[in-house]
Structure formats: structure tokens, C-alpha cells
Structure 1
């Protein structure tokens, strides 16, 4: 048994990184275990071929689906987790998202905490992650203070798109993004508004991610020990099963067991559930903290679609990800059900197209001349559509034959399909110069890539009833008194906005409670 710690945090992504950042100044003895290393800063950070075609920064680990077929997950094991390659879109959930919402495909359940419970922590999260935005533009936006940083400006062609959307009666807004950007004094700006941001690691540390904003600032504290290359294999408990007494960790050349007064699991919704399931013992035969049989269940990841609008006019925009639109968020008069959110993707690059093309176009794209792909990219604008998928206990994480298993059948598809149709028609209407709208990523209804798990959530939902939830409202497991799960696992529902800001806000909220305990 290795030395004892006041707190052990497993994982350094949006949840774990934030907890470490908030608790490091307490002086308490904290061990941080991260299975990955620091992502290398190298020229390949900005290479579309390396990032999108070769998946240079994704894990080589393989999972399986419910049929036992191999899944190559698009997920990162680095200090900072998936925030190292995220698009940094950081949005509040809408007030109604915390209530029960009727969808065309079913019910999105109510949260037992509401928007007002998270509001002060959202404010802190936006400051911590350098969120740029402007309140009052989005008609679905909840009551809030002004953003801590001014909105990222639209470049000329994106401003033209905004103006066209407004002429059609829509309410586009400056997409809230986490960037270390100062557009008034560029000498104070780490972000250089490059064209490889969304989906790419940032070579200049200009994107607000969990490594840059949370972990790196804590490395000055002597009370914080960060171990990289430290994969947690199993959590051990005492004989009653009420307390975690050991964190068994593979350090590459050896295995060690660490102990702590409190243990925070923050591996991401999929891997946190998998860790609890593979930690089964005599007191917890179905997996640790799983007396409710809810660990791993209700896995959600959004119904996401990428649309590329091709125009006869070259798109000279350098940093493209500046527009959000929620006019369809709660539906339309003749479809009174939520449809979801629209936002820009990052720039479309020639080297991305072979990796992102839908199956029907893939053979043609594969053999297209490089110059042809470059021309297509230069005339493209990317859009990201996301529709809420609903919690289903049969959509779940399993631990299957020493690897992660994912059972997932998409639901709420009619709302997604309607959003795709409405936005495609809108793109055709906003400018006469748009000749074609080509959907790169609209798959047949029977196929949505399981490997795309960037918005994963919901596998250890929180609630007051221990028979229907895994965590209490402080994100402590009902069954194990010193064990917390602080990532997107706690979500009872997905909402239609990106989950990261809510993960960060909740981590700040839970850290406030942990300060009283360690």
C-alpha cells in the first residue's frame, strides 16, 4: 500500500481537471491519476490528415458494440481529456432543460436540481474557461449576467450569413466559445484565430482546455501530485463495501494501490461507468455503487450531423466557428417538439473530407485528386446540428471480456431529421450564391457512428432516490460513502446544447462541498 492522500482524483478532463483546480489551494494532499500523458505540441497538431484521417490523438484502444463488433472510439487519453480536441463551444443549458420535456420520441426527465442551482457555478465556469459571448442575442437563453469576455467577432463572410439569417427572421447569436483571445490588443492574445481549432489540439495553448486552464496552474502546488501514464484498473473497498480503501493503478512498469480519504472518479461517462463495473466485489457483485442497477445505463451522446454548404464563392474565413442558432431548439408551430441546436463547425479542410464523407460518397472522395478536394474545401462552410437523444436504460456501457462494451440504439430521430431538412432549406435560402448543399455526415437512419462519443453523458445519473440513481445530488455514490463521480455521468438528460460547460459548473459545485470534507 502506497502513501495515503486526502483526495484522489481519477481523470483530468473537464470534470476532474476542474475539481483539481478548485481544491489545489486548500493545501490538502491530492493525488491526480491520468492514464494518458501530456499531448505533444508538434506541427501535426494542425495537420488535417494526421488529426482526421490518421486519428493521431485518439486512443488505439478498441471497444465493442452489442453485436461484439469492434468499435474504434473517437476519444482522447491525454492530460485535459477530450477538451484537448474539443471545439470549445461552452453553452448554458436552457432553464426548461432542467424540467421534464416532451419530445416527439419520448420524455426527457426532469433534473432534481434546477437552473438556479447551477447559475452561480455557470458564472464561475465561464470565467475559468475564458468564455466569450454576448447576452441577449439568443431568445432561448436563460437569465444570466453578461459574459466575462466579449463575443468573438464574425469575419466578413460569416457576418453576411448572420445578416441573411436575420433577414429571414431568425436570431443567430455569437457562439459562446472558450478562447484565450484578445481582439483589442493582439499582443495579449494567445489565440491567433487560426483555421485549425475545432477538432484539433491547439499548438499555441490558445484554446481554453482542462490542461491549460485547470491542471497546469495547479502544478505550482507542492500538495498536488500528478501521475501520468497511470491507468486505474479497479477500486477496492473495505469488507462492508461502504468505503473505497484502495485505487489499483497500472503505472506501466508496476501496479500500485493508493488510498485516500475521498476518491473522485472523473474518467468521462463511458470509462467512469466501466471502472465501477469492473470493480465488482462480494459487497457489490454487479459493480461498485450499482445496487440500483443503473451504472452504465441511460448512455447518451447527441444525434449529431455535419452539413457542408458548397458555394460558387470562395470562403475566405479563417476562424469560422462563431455562429449559433436556437430558433428550432423548442420546435416550430407545426412541430411543437424540441429539434435541437445549429452552430458552425470549424473550417472545412481538404484533408478532413476523406475522413468525414458519408458512406455513399466515400469511394468517390477517396480517389478524387487532391486539388479537387482543396477546391471543395475553399468553397465550403461547415455546420454542426445536434438533437437531444433521450435516456434509455438499454443504451448502456458494459464491461465485456476485458474491454468497454457499448449498446446504443439512437432515438428521437424524427426531430433530428426535421432539423436537418429545415436547416438544409435555410442554407439554400440565405444566399443566391449557394449552388449546392451537400450533407457530409447524414447517415441512413439505421446507422449513426457509435465511435463518435464526444458528447457522452448519463451513465451514473444523480438523484435523491437510491433505487433509481447512482449518485446523490452532491454526486457522491449512494452505496459508497467516500466515492464521487464528477463528470458527465451524472446527467439525467442530455439537453440540446454542448455538455462541457455544465460538466465544469457541476465540478465547481461539487468541489465546494468537498472543501468541507477533506
Structure 2
């Protein structure tokens, strides 16, 4: 069957286009590698979700090869299946947006002009974006309204311009300990920000509000409150979704993509024809598919005349830290506030979104504060040893677990700063290793620029000051170059010059008339916030451009 539009991948990058074009009357098909789950399928089973990777492919069938660079030339090669190193996120309808925590911050105007605002950094491939914050602002607003973003706008020195005064959804209920955070920030002269969340605080948009289970990250939302691409978009449009469809090749002429070939889970091959193709398979997989789709017209990979496909892969730099609040240092009222079940912490700092060390202005980032994850296995695993480092057993261990879980609570923080694009962080395909379908697997080359670590360290020390002022104990943090696999972008960066970019400013391939890439691949730099809101916003923007193209073809 021939469609107007074929979308490969159903996450935050593809679903807004499916939603917009199908509701405009176009015939749209979505090819999704994973299964289609509904709210009834989601549980809080930690073993299934977090320990046995229920929503991601098994690495013995679909692995990655990882090259981890220690400097410009030396690297260690890992077989992903043997090392247990996975870059798969959510393989299901709606993609990893089903499993996100939904921390939604907009990028700032200066994020779009990283090079011209902050200057060159040796060893980093920094460029300005092809569009501005002003181009994307209406679509950030659209995401707030259509996906549903809860929050409360407060003025602070790095507040980005907005076309509306506040979020459309009321702020989520927060734990009483947030008062301690706000007070500590006031003493330190920091500006406490309520964290915006893509989680509905009440019934709205034909979805239920949050019921505060505090199991967001890594888990599907059983209430539908989380603004996943599935719940917010795909369940509200007439679009054909073909599941268990792994797209392994795009066929093209010199000018146009003509077919998308996919395997079913049983290895049968099928093809789809369309007027326009949108690739939104996740940054690593989108590059892998293009590189595996080489032909006589594109011998180095589809849409790769520039040689830039797969290059300048980025993640979110930073790290995390934590501090513990013990009952013995708290009043009865504070103990009660701290242990309120389910309620979010939802506080952020952006005081150092950029900062001056006396020599130059640095691009900084965002610090989000949240309670430790509710996963009981990981929480209990941290308590298996006594103060001398000896493993504990039986009644002694049981007593410690009971005490730690009922008379104290851990507040954590996450640091988000730019992962600078470099020559040594990119996606390729392996010449020998193949997946269960016989398709060459992706090679993920990893390198974190030292600058990223310095910025992350600066931010983490500021977070530690807040925890100290709040009275936390056992404070610790870690900033590293280890990439978070759920925060990945780049590989098909957009730009106005076809020699140095894969896509034009509207995310259409420079080399082909009817191929768009709408996941995070288009991003040349990532900003200092989680990517999902920007992916959603850009996808709505691209949908408007595709409507214009379809109007010309009809």
C-alpha cells in the first residue's frame, strides 16, 4: 500500500508529525520496531522493567559495538552483549517517551548560538543552530498545550522569553521538604525554580492526572498522566501503526527515497511506499540505517554526500549526587514532611546557566533535584555492607534495611550541561558483526571532551552547597564522561551548508527531495537541559513544513 507519509519510529520525534498530518487528512503509516502497550500493560514490576529490560531488545540478539576513547587515538573496544553495555531505550509505540521522568526545560536563546555566544573550544566541533529560539518558541508553547506540561513560571535571571505567562497545567503537588530547599536557596542567594514536568497534575486532555506513585523514570505510566508520544498523540489520531517492524534499509534513486524495507519479528521482509519518508528511529539507529542503506548513488550511506552521517554524536554531560536526611536531626514535623509518600520534589537551579570564572564566560547548565528512585532493589543493595565494608547477613542486615528505609530519605540531584561534539564521538557500522536479522550493527564511538567535566564539576559543587545548607549528610557526587544512553542526539546535524551538514534547516536531507530526519539526530549541540521538549517542539515545526510540501504534491 502506498501512503502519503511513512514515519520510521514512533517516539517524540516522529509522533508529532504523525499526529499533525493524519489529523490534516493525510494517509500516514508508522513503522515501529517494538510492541504497542497501553496503560493497562504498565506495572511497577522492578524485576521486569529495570532488571530484565522488558522494553528493550536483548543484547544477545541486537547488540552494539562500543569504542571508548581515552584520548584522541587510543580506545577500548567492547562487545555490547558481553559487556552488558546497551544504548537501547524504549522499543515500543511511543518510544522512550513512555519511560521518561518528564523533566521539561526549554533551551535558552544562547543555546542556539553556542559558537557565537561563547567562542571556540579547542577539539570541539561547535556551531550555531540554523534556526533561533524565536523560531522554536511557538512550538515549545504548542507542546505545553498538546502534550501537557505542568508547572509554575517564576522569574529568574536565565528565564527564557515566553509568549504565554504560565504553564497550561497546574503545578504538581510537592513534598513538604521543598520548603527546606527554597529556604536554603534563599540563604545562599540562589534562585529556586519549580521544575516543569510533562506530567498532568489533574485530569485533562482526555487523560487522567498523576496519582503520585513516584515511579516515573524507566516505567510506563498506568494513569496516562505522563506526556508520552503514545498517550498524548498517537492514541488521538487516525494513523496506521505497524508494530514489530524493524526497518533495515531505505531504497532510493538519486533524488528520492522510494521504499522502506522492514523485517517482522519472524524475519519476513516487507516494503512500504510513500511520497515522503520521515526517519525518527533514535539518533544512533537513524545514523545506522542511513549508513546501511548505501547504494550506487550514495556509496557511503544514504544522504551522506557530506560524509557527516553519524558524526558529532552528543549526549548530555554532567552527572549526579545525593545527600541523606536522618530523622535524628529533624523535628517530628520535618520527619512527617520528608516521608510524605509519592509527592514530587520538583526543584531546579539554573543560576549558572552561564558563569564567569574571571577569565572567560562559560556555558553552564541545569541542576534538577529529586528524591532517589523508589526501586527497592537498588535502594536495598546500597545497604549490604557495614561501616567497615564487610557484607552483612540475616537479622543484622534486616535491622539496617528497616532503619535506613524508614528513618531517613535520600535527596539526589542531576547535572545537565553540554556534551561538546568532537571528531571521536560518532556512529558507524561494523564490517563483521550483525544482529539477529543479519544487518550490520551500530558502532558507537565515545569520547567526552574534558571541558564537559570541568563544567559539570562546577555545577555539582553548587548543588552540594544546597544540600549542606539543608542539613543533609553522607553527601557525595560523581561527574564523569560516561554517556547516559537515554539522552543522545546528533549524527545528522542540520545546517545551511550541504557540505558540512546532513539536513537543511527544516530537517530535510540536503541530498534527497523527500527524506526528513526528525528525532534528536538533527541537533548540532544539545543545550544544558534534557532533550525531549526540544525534540517534540522541533517535530511539530517540521510537521508544518511537510504540510506545505504535501500541498504542492497534491
TM-score, normalised via structure 2 length? 0.84
Q: Kindly provide the CA deviation profile for residues 222-257 of structure 1, in whole angstroms up to 9, marking residues without a partner as x.
A: xx211111110100012xx21111100112342111
Which runs of structure 2 are paired with 1:206-217 in the superposition (5 Å)?
Answer: 206-217=225-236
Distance 1:89 1:103, change over 3 A: farther
Alignment partner, residue 420 of structure 1: 460
Counterpart for residue 77 of structure 1 = 91
Structure 2 counterpart of 1:431, from 443, 446, 470: 470
Which runs of no fewer than 5 residues in structure 1 stay unpaired?
none
Deviation at 1:339, TM superposition (A): 2.7
* Distance in 1 between residues matched to 2:381 and 2:515, nearest whole Å: 40
| Kept after mapping to 2: 8 A contact 1:242/1:479 | yes
| Residues 33, 232 of structure 1: 8 Å contact kept | yes
Please name the residue that 2:367 is paired with: 342
Query: Are 2:250 and 1:235 aligned?
Result: yes
Cα–Cα, structure 1 residues 356 and 79, in superposed 2: closer, same or farther, change >3 Å? farther
Which structure has the larger Rg? 2
CA change 1:163–1:50 in 2 (3 A) is farther
Q: Deviations over 1:115-135 (max 9, x none)?
A: 111111111111111111222
The alpha carbon displacement at 1:153 in A equals 3.6
Cα distance, 1:354 vs. partner?
A: 6.3
Question: Counterpart in 2 of 1:32?
Answer: 30
* More deviation, 167-176/50-59: 50-59
| CA apart distance, 1:414 | 1.1
Q: Deviations 1:359-398 (Å, cap 9, x if unpaired)?
A: x99x969868466456545521121111211111321011
Match of 1:15 in 2: 13
| Deviation, structure 1 residue 43 | 8.0
**Is the Cα contact below 8 Å between 1:249 and 1:256 reproduced in 2?**
yes
Q: Tell me whether 1:393 sits opposite 2:408 in the alignment.
A: no
Match of 1:179 among 178, 190, 199: 199
Q: Residues 466 and 472 of structure 1 are in contact (CA less than 8 Å); yes or no, is this contact kept in structure 2?
A: yes
- Distance of 1:374 and 1:479 partners within structure 2: 62
Structure 2 partner of 1:198: 217
Structure 1 partner of 2:378: 353
1:77-476 counterparts in 2 under 5 A? Answer: 77-99=91-113, 100=115, 101-102=117-118, 108-144=126-162, 145=164, 146-182=166-202, 189-218=208-237, 221=238, 224-238=239-253, 241-253=254-266, 254-313=268-327, 315-317=338-340, 318-334=342-358, 336-345=361-370, 347-349=372-374, 351=376, 353=378, 369=397, 372-373=400-401, 375-376=403-404, 378-400=408-430, 401=433, 402-411=440-449, 412-428=452-468, 430-432=469-471, 434-439=472-477, 442=478, 445=480, 448=482, 450=483, 452-476=484-508
Between the aligned partners of 1:279 and 1:370, the Cα distance in structure 2 is 56
Structure-1 residue corresponding to 2:70: none
TM-score (norm 1): 0.89
CA contact (8 A) 1:152 1:174 kept: no
Q: State how far apart, in whole Å, the 1-side matches of 2:413 and 2:544 are.
A: 37
RMSD (Å), alpha carbons: 2.8
Q: Distance in 2 between matches of 1:460 and 1:188?
A: 34
Distance in 2, matches of 1:276 and 1:499, equals 22
- d(CA) in 2 for partners of 1:75 and 1:346? 22
CA contact (8 A) 1:88 1:179 kept: yes
Q: CA deviation at 1:75?
A: 1.1
